[in-house]
Structure 1
Amino acid sequence: MRTVMRRFVVVVVVGHGLIHLLGAAKGLGWAEVDALPEPISPTMGLAWLTAAAAIVATGVLLAARNRRWWVVGSLAVVVSQAVIVTSWDDARTGTAANLLLLAALGYTFASHGPASYRAEYQRRTAVALGEPHPETGAGAVVTEADLAHLPDLVAEYVRRSGALGQPRVVSVHARIHGRIRSGPKARWMTYTGEQVNTFGPAPSRLFWMDATMFGLPVDVLHVLVGPTATMRVKVCSVVPMVNAAGPDMDRAETVTLFNDLCILAPAALVDAPITWQPLDDHHVRGVFTNGTQTVTADLTFDDGDLVDFVSDDRMSTTLDGATTPQRWSTPVRDYARLGTRRLATYGEGCWHTTSPEGEFAYLEYHLDAITYNPETTQIDPTDHARRTQPQAIDGPKQGWRS
C-alpha cells in the first residue's frame, strides 16, 4: 500500500476506532453521550470497547507496516459493523469507515495474496535459487587466470569491480528504486523494484516492480526462464494492463539479461557465454547467447569503468504490448563500493528514436542493495522504506559454467 494511501487509511481507521469509545462509555456508564440517544446495554458497551480496541490496533499495525495487520483488521471490521448495526440510527455513518477499511483489506489481499505478482515472484525465485548449478569446486573464487580470455577493457572492469578473490557468481539479488515513463513527454512514475538473476545453461531473470501511476498502484512482473519471457502489468493489483509475450519479448529480455550481467554482476562475465570483439581503446562488442537467442551489444569504458551499454536487438514495448525495433542504451555512473564490490549505483534506460525527440531516458534507477549467490530466505520483497543505505553481500554458493 502506497505511503500516502496508507497514512490516509491509518488516520481514518484510528479516528473510527476512537469514536467507538463513545458507545463503550455510554454502555458501561462512564459518561452520558448525547450523540448516541439510543440505549446501550453494559454487554453491548463491552462489544463497543472490543471494537474500538480492534480498530485502533488495526490502524497502529498498519502504521507500523506489520504484515499481519490484515488479520486483526478482518476481525475488527466484522466486530465494528456488528455493533454499528445494533445502533444503526445513531452510528450508521461509521459504515463508510468500515467500507474504506474493507477496501484496504481487499487491496492487501490482491497485492500480497497467493494470486499476486508479488507472491508469484517469491515462488519463482525460490524455484530458481533452488536449482542446482554446476560447481567449480568448494571455495572456488575468481582469479587473475580467469580473466585471460577477456578483452583488456573487460578484464580491467572485472578487476575494478572487486571480483578477484571473491566467490564465483551463480546468482544475484538486487533492490533498486527510481522512476519510469512511457514516452519523452509522459509523466514520470516512481517505483521500487527488485530482481533475481541466475546464470548457467538455463539462466533466469525475475523482476518485480511496485510503481505508482496517477496515484494508483501498478504491479509489474518480468519473467525470463531459459529462452522464454513474459511481461505483465496490473493496476491496483487487479486490473490487467499489459500481457506481453512472444519472440520479441524473448529477445528483449535476453538483451536485458546480458545488460544485467555487465552492470550488476561483472564477476559472472568470466564464465558467461559471450564472444568478445575489441573495437578500439574504449569500446568492446559482446555477442551473448541464451538458448536460440543471440544478441549483440557495444560496451563503452572510461578509465576502466563501464559507462554505457548499447544494443540494437531490444524492442520497445508500448502500454498495449506492441513492440518496435529501437536502439537501446543504459548509461551508468556513480560508482561506489557496496560491501566487497564496486558497482555503478545510478543508471538510465534510453531509447534512441527516429522521432523529433531523438534519444530520451524512459527509466532511471538507483541501486539500493545487492546480494551475490543469495539463499532463498534472503529474498523478501518488502517496502524499500526500511532500507536507507546501499549494501552488498556475498553469499555462500560458488561457481557456474554455461
Structure 2
Amino acid sequence: MLRVLFAFVIIIHGLIHFLGFAKANSLLHVDQLSQPTPKSLGLTWLLIGLLFLTGAFGFLMRKEWWMLLPIAALLSQILIFIYWQDAKYGTLINTMIILICAIAYGTWSFNRKVESEISALMTSDSPTQNVITRESISHLPPMIQKWMERSKALENPSIQFAYIKQTGRMKTTPDGRWMTFSAQQFINVTKPGFIWQAHVRALPLFHLSARDKYAAGHGNMLIKLQSLVTIANESGYAIDQGSLCRFLAEMIWYPSAALNDYVEWKEIDEHTVEATIKYQHLSGTGIFTFTPSGDVGSFETLRYYVHKNESSLEKWNINIDENSYDEFEGRRIPKNASVTWKLKSGDFTWYKLEVQEVRYNAL
C-alpha cells in the first residue's frame, strides 16, 4: 500500500512538471508560474516530468527504472531554485523522494549482494541424490538410526540443499526489547554452508537487514540499519566456530546430513548422543538429546558469545517444542524452537522461531 501511495505522489509531482512545458509553449495559462518560461526550459520541465513518470512505474513494478527518480528529483530541484518563488514547495517532495530512494537503494544493494552469495553457495560437485537405506545407517548409534526413521529420512533421497522460511522474535541483549523478524535460509548440505537473510523490525519505520553467512569454512555476520548503515560486520575465528556449530545444530531440519563424512557420532546414553563436525580448519562438538520416540528434544554446544568486541566460550542451547513436529516435503521436523545462551549471569533466551516453509533439493 505504501509503495502505491509513494508512486501516486511521484506521478502527480511528475505531471505538475508538464505545466512548465505547457506555459513555455503557450498551451496553457499557468497562474502558478508567474516568471517567464523560455521554450528551452519548457523542454527541461517536460523531460523531468517524463523521468518522474518512468521512475514511478519502475518503482511500482519493482524494476530498476526506479533509479531514475533521484536523478529526476535533483534536476527538478535545480528548476525549483530558478523558479523558487513559484515552485519552492516542490522541495519537500523532492527531498522525500531522495530519502526514500536512498533507503530503496540500500535494500536493493543489500539484496543483490546476498543473492550473489546464495548463487555461489548453492552449487554441488555431486548432483546424485542417494536414497537412504537401513544398510546405509547401520553404522550409526541406535538413537540416530531411530531418529532417521522417525524423521522419515529413511527411504527418502539424501538432502543436498535446503530452503527454510522462518518468522519469530529476537533480541540482542538480556534486558533488550523483543523484535519481530522474517527470514529465509539457504543451506548447502554436501559442502557445509548456509546463508540466513532476515528483515528485523527494530522500531516503527526502522528495520535491520541481517545476513548470517557460513561458506568455505568461514562465517560472517552483517547487520545494516535501513539496509544502509552498517551496525555490525563480524568475522574471524569466533564467528567461524559459532557458524559451524550452528550448522551442526540445524541438522534437525535436514536430518540426512547426519550421514555425511564430516560428522562423527558417539553414544553417551540411551537418549543422548555426541556429534562432532569437522570441516576445513575447524571442528565443533555438540550434544543432541532425544525423546523416547526418537525426536530431537534439544541441542547444546560450547559456542563463542561475542559481546562488546569480546568473545568467550559459553553454553548455547536450542530447545525444541516437542509438540511442534510437522511434515515438510516428506520429512518430519520441528517447527518451533528457542535459542538460549547459558551465561554466568543467567540464561539469555534471545531467539524464538517458527518454521513456515521448507523445500529440499529442488529450490
Whether TM exceeds 0.5 here: the answer is yes
**Paired amino acid for 1:266:** P
Q: Which amino acid aligns with 2:320?
A: V
Identity of aligned residues (%): 23
Provide the secondary structure at the position in 1 that maps to 2:335. strand
Q: How does 1:218-297 map to 2 (within 5 A)?
A: 218-260=208-250, 262-297=251-286
Deviation at residue 70 of structure 1 after TM alignment: 2.1
TM-superposed deviation, 1:314 = 0.8
Give SS of 2:86's match: helix
1:326 lines up with 2:314 in the alignment = yes
Of 63, 84, 89, which residue of structure 1 is paired with 2:85? 89
Separation (CA, whole Å) in 2 of partners of 1:8 and 1:337: 40
**Contact kept in structure 1, 2:329 and 2:358, CA below 8 Å:** no
User: What CA deviation, in whole Å up to 9, does each residue of 1:36-78 have, x standing for no partner?
Assistant: 43355788667656645643554454355x1425234245435
The 3-state SS of whatever aligns with 2:122 is: helix
Cα distance, 1:162 vs. partner? 3.1
Q: Label 1:339 to 1:190 Cα distance change in 2 as closer, same or farther (>3 A).
A: same
Give RMSD over aligned pairs. 3.3
Higher strand fraction: Structure 1 or Structure 2? 2
Aligned to 2:202: 213
Unaligned residue ranges in structure 2 (runs of 5+)? none
1:345 aligns with 2:335: yes
Instruction: Tell me whether 1:370 sits opposite 2:363 in the alignment.
Output: no
**Residue 290 (structure 2) pairs with residue 301 (structure 1):** yes
After TM superposition, the structure 1 = structure 2 runs for residues 2-401 of structure 1, keeping only pairs within 5 Å, are 9-10=6-7, 12-14=9-11, 16-17=13-14, 19-20=16-17, 23=20, 34-39=31-36, 48=45, 51-52=48-49, 54-55=51-52, 58-59=55-56, 61-63=58-60, 66-74=62-70, 76-78=72-74, 80-81=76-77, 83-113=79-109, 116=110, 118-133=111-126, 138=128, 140-200=130-190, 203-214=192-203, 215-260=205-250, 262-302=251-291, 303-311=293-301, 313-318=302-307, 320-333=308-321, 334-355=324-345, 358-373=346-361, 394=362
Secondary structure of the structure 2 residue equivalent to 1:367: strand
Check the 8 A contact 1:219/1:235 in 2, yes or no: yes
Query: Aligned partners of 1:351 and 1:271: how far apart in 2?
Result: 28
The amino acid of 1:128's aligned partner reads L
- Give the conservation status (yes or no) of the 8 Å contact 2:130–2:157: yes
Distance 1:95 1:156, change over 3 A: same
Shift of residue 109, structure 1, vs aligned partner: 3.0
Q: Normalising to structure 2: TM-score of the pair?
A: 0.83
Moved more, 16-25 or 174-183: 16-25
Shift of 1:324: 2.3
Q: Which has the larger radius of gyration?
A: 2
Contact 2:328–2:359 (CA under 8 A) maintained in structure 1: no
Q: Which has the higher contact order (CA 8 A, sep 6+)?
A: 1
Query: Amino acid of the residue matched to residue 296 of structure 1?
Result: T
Q: Judge conservation of contact 1:244–1:321 (CA < 8 Å) in 2.
A: no
Aligned-partner residue type, residue 132 of structure 1:
D
Specify the SS of the correspondent of 1:163. coil
Residues 52 and 72 in structure 2, CA contact (< 8 A), matched pair in contact too: yes
Rounded to whole Å, the distance in 2 between the matches of 1:33 and 1:191 is: 50
Contact 1:9 1:100 in 2 (8 A): no
Cα distance in 2 for partners of 1:187, 1:11 equals 36
Unpaired runs of 5+ residues, structure 1, are 374-393, 396-402
Conservation of the 8 A alpha-carbon contact between 1:28 and 1:46: no
The one-letter code sitting in structure 2 at the alignment partner of 1:347 is A
Amino acid at match of 1:164: L
- 1:91 deviates by 0.8
Change (3 A) 1:178 1:11: farther
Q: For 2:265, give the aligned amino acid.
A: W
Amino acid at match of 1:162: K
Q: Deviations over 1:66-118 (max 9, x none)?
A: 142523424543554455345332112212321222233333333323xx4x3
Alpha-carbon contact 1:173-1:371 (below 8 Å) kept: yes
Which residue identity is paired with 1:127? Answer: A
Give the number of aligned pairs: 359
Q: CA–CA distance in 1 between the matches of 2:277 and 2:24?
A: 74
Distance (Å, rounded) in 2 between the aligned partners of 1:84 and 1:53: 17
